[in-house]
Chain A
Amino acid sequence: MATAHIVELEGRREWENYHRTGTSHLKKRYGLRSGDGGRGRDDIAQAASEVQKWLLAAKEEGVPVRPVGGAWSLSNIQLVQNGWMLNTRRFNRCFRLAGHDFARPGSVDPGAFMLIEGGVQVDEVNDKLQEIERSLVTTGASNGQTFPGACATGTHGSVLTAGGIQQHVRAVQIVTPGGIYWIEPSAGLMSDDFIRETGSAPVRDDDAFAAALVAVGSLGIVTAMVIESVPRYLVRPWLKLIDFARDDVETLERGDFRAFSEKHGLKGHDPYFVMVITTPYRPWGGKAVARILYQFPYHSRYEHVEPGKLGAGYDAQSMMAWALRQFPWARGQILQLIMRLGVGKGITEERYGTWGETLESSRPTADSFSAALFCDRARLVHTLEALCTAFSRAGGSTAVTLRFVKGGYGLLSPARWENSVAIDCDGPGGEGTLRAYRKMLDALERQGIEHTLHWGKINNLTPARVAANYGDDLSRWRAVRDRLLPDPADRRLFATEELRAFGLAD
């Protein structure tokens, strides 16, 4: 029986991330692999010990390292230059937990929790939860990220009552050259024996846990997580081209999603998820695509249909990729038109699926542009107007998507307002779009419009901007980092150009 191990995949080479937004000039590329049997805690203990040895070897060689998950981040935070890369995607087993694994067995339902390895993709988590009749509450629009990679940037969807995907995490195992840590909130979750058997030292500390939830790949290598799920449920999708008026944006700003849904969606139901895709040159007063999901109790008597028929892929990024594959020459208004035509009749008939069934993995598209800005929902009209005016004036012509996220769940969660809105700009890549986006961000800054940016997407972050956005939370995050990585040489191991640009690495 093979145990968890690291294999050297190849020597010096150039490696590109998923959307080819950046290249790593690697000294070596490694893969972390799961063992093929045995208990989860043993596999994780073995992997963590292998990862620690690997980190120490890198430190001795004086090369920086970088774990890579799905490699989906367009901000190039999974790149490393002249260093070693650790691909985690074959370290991907999931495990059930038992009552005696917990510190207070009587007070938790062990069936609600799952232990996952550090390279498990979101798609895999959905499938495994489905097997045990459970579900995630929220995810991003696609499912090919790894769970730790998605948490690293605070990946979010648009479930109205939910924060980022990291809201499911209850414990994190992180490996540094100096230690293997099991990080939980101060109230504790897992038993001392369980933690010891995973080869880790317990860190029961609220700040450390909040820092580890959105770690931006800067606190060490995540080898395992315990996540909490909810009983499985069904969603009914509603997808339609709507006449999107300023009144609608005001309704969304007030958080009156029911009223928005009564007007544009299924009558008589509270929406679970609301997303609107519009354009920068006419954010309202024209047509927009609305995707609304309604939650229903699970039953087995529904007809299973493909994710596409449940509206998977009807997010701006996937639609844009689809449109560009069919019509590679399309740009600007033509591209927007094609995307809208792609919605066709939409989905209004009765169809159901589980959360996992509504998602699919997108295909890589080179030269795509994807950026997301977060703001206070209470300032939505003003922010959207300012963003679209400045962006379209500067020549930006991507789709503009509104998604709603609850704030919190991590010191560095970019959703910093209790009710946050993510405004995504997704479209074809190119210098023009990038320039327009940066000009728009400068304009928002000049106008004093408060916002934060997605760690994993195109941004203009600098240490000063990050410090201004996160204030005391950043100081607390840094204090945790310095506790987990007290040796400056260990911190340098995880430092990359991109993370230095965020002020998260020395």
Chain B
Amino acid sequence: METLAWIVVIAMLLGQYFAGTADYFLSIENPRPLDDNITIITIYGWGFATESSRTHTAELAGQGFADVRMFATRRQVLVSLFTAGFVRPVSIAWRGNAGQHPLGEA
């Protein structure tokens, strides 16, 4: 019984670890991306400390996003697991859009 409980706990932890590194990706149609930028946002205290002081601003005024990707590296997931989720760093990768021009006349 105890062994089974351990197996379940380990499976849950491993599952959290792998799922933590999963990659959430959101893109506009025809992204035409500019260079990749990565910002790491760390959330403390299970989300209680996520107020505006920790909101990041991407320097993209007038351009818009081509795509946004959210993921945690293996190291970031380990930090989260070992602090029981108190420190939860995530990486947000985003790319600006190169702009869409109509077909012009030469």
Q: What residues make up the interface of A, taking CB atoms closer than 8 Å to B?
A: 15-16, 18, 34, 36-41, 71, 87, 89-90, 92-98, 101, 115, 119, 121, 123-124, 127-128, 131-132, 144, 194, 325, 328, 361, 363-364
* Interface 9-residue window, one of B2-10, B33-41, B46-54, B78-86: B33-41
CA–CA, A195 and B81, complex, Å: 64
- Pick the contact of B105 from A40, A92, A124 — CB < 8 Å? A40
Chain B residues with CB below 8 A from A131, complex form = 103
Complex interface bits, B64-106 against A, C-beta within 8 A gives 1, otherwise 0: 0001010000100000000000000000000000111101111
B35 to A87, Cβ gap below 8 A? yes
CA–CA, A89 and B106, complex, Å: 19
A92 to B32, Cβ gap below 8 A? yes
Min distance, Cβ B14 to any Cβ of chain A, angstroms? 11
B105 to A96, Cβ gap below 8 A? yes
Chain B residues with CB below 8 A from A90, complex form = 34, 98-99
5 A-B residue pairings within 8 Å (CB atoms): A34-B99, A37-B104, A40-B104, A96-B103, A98-B105
Min distance, Cβ A397 to any Cβ of chain B, angstroms? 21
A41 to B106, Cβ gap below 8 A? yes
Chain B residues with CB below 8 A from A119, complex form = 98
Min distance, Cβ B50 to any Cβ of chain A, angstroms? 26
Chain B residues with CB below 8 A from A128, complex form = 103
The 8 closest A-B pairs by CB, nearest first: A40-B106, A95-B106, A115-B106, A89-B98, A93-B101, A95-B104, A97-B106, A128-B103
Q: Contacts A18-B36, A325-B23; is A39 near B105 (CB within 8 Å)?
A: yes
- The number of residues on chain B lying at the interface, defined by a beta carbon within 8 Å of a beta carbon of chain A, is 21
Q: Contacts A121-B32, A123-B32, A328-B74; is A101 near B25 (CB within 8 Å)?
A: no
Q: Which residue of A has the minimal Cβ distance to B38?
A: A16
- Pick the contact of B34 from A87, A94, A96 — CB < 8 Å? A87
Q: Which residue of A has the minimal Cβ distance to B100?
A: A124
Q: Which residue of B has the minimal Cβ distance to A96?
A: B105
| Known A87-B35, A96-B106; 10 more pairs at CB < 8 Å | A34-B101, A38-B104, A39-B105, A92-B98, A93-B101, A94-B104, A95-B105, A124-B30, A128-B103, A328-B74
CA–CA, A115 and B67, complex, Å: 28
CA–CA, A15 and B100, complex, Å: 25
B25 to A39, Cβ gap below 8 A? no
Chain B residues with CB below 8 A from A328, complex form = 21, 74
Q: Which residue of A has the minimal Cβ distance to B25?
A: A363
Q: Which residue of B has the minimal Cβ distance to A33?
A: B99
Q: Contacts A101-B106, A123-B32, A127-B30; is A92 near B99 (CB within 8 Å)?
A: yes
- Pick the contact of B101 from A87, A94, A144 — CB < 8 Å? A94
B106 to A124, Cβ gap below 8 A? no
Chain B residues with CB below 8 A from A41, complex form = 106
Chain B residues with CB below 8 A from A87, complex form = 34-35
Min distance, Cβ B1 to any Cβ of chain A, angstroms? 30
B33 to A144, Cβ gap below 8 A? yes
Q: Which residue of B has the minimal Cβ distance to A363?
A: B25
Min distance, Cβ B11 to any Cβ of chain A, angstroms? 16
Chain A residues with CB below 8 A from B105, complex form = 39-40, 95-96, 98
A71 to B35, Cβ gap below 8 A? yes
B98 to A94, Cβ gap below 8 A? no
Chain A residues with CB below 8 A from B98, complex form = 89-90, 92, 119, 121
CA–CA, A489 and B99, complex, Å: 35
Chain B residues with CB below 8 A from A96, complex form = 103-106
Chain A residues with CB below 8 A from B106, complex form = 39-41, 95-98, 101, 115, 194
CA–CA, A94 and B36, complex, Å: 24
Min distance, Cβ B28 to any Cβ of chain A, angstroms? 11
Min distance, Cβ A458 to any Cβ of chain B, angstroms? 20
CA–CA, A97 and B105, complex, Å: 7
CA–CA, A87 and B95, complex, Å: 14
A363 to B69, Cβ gap below 8 A? yes
Min distance, Cβ A94 to any Cβ of chain B, angstroms? 6
Min distance, Cβ A130 to any Cβ of chain B, angstroms? 10
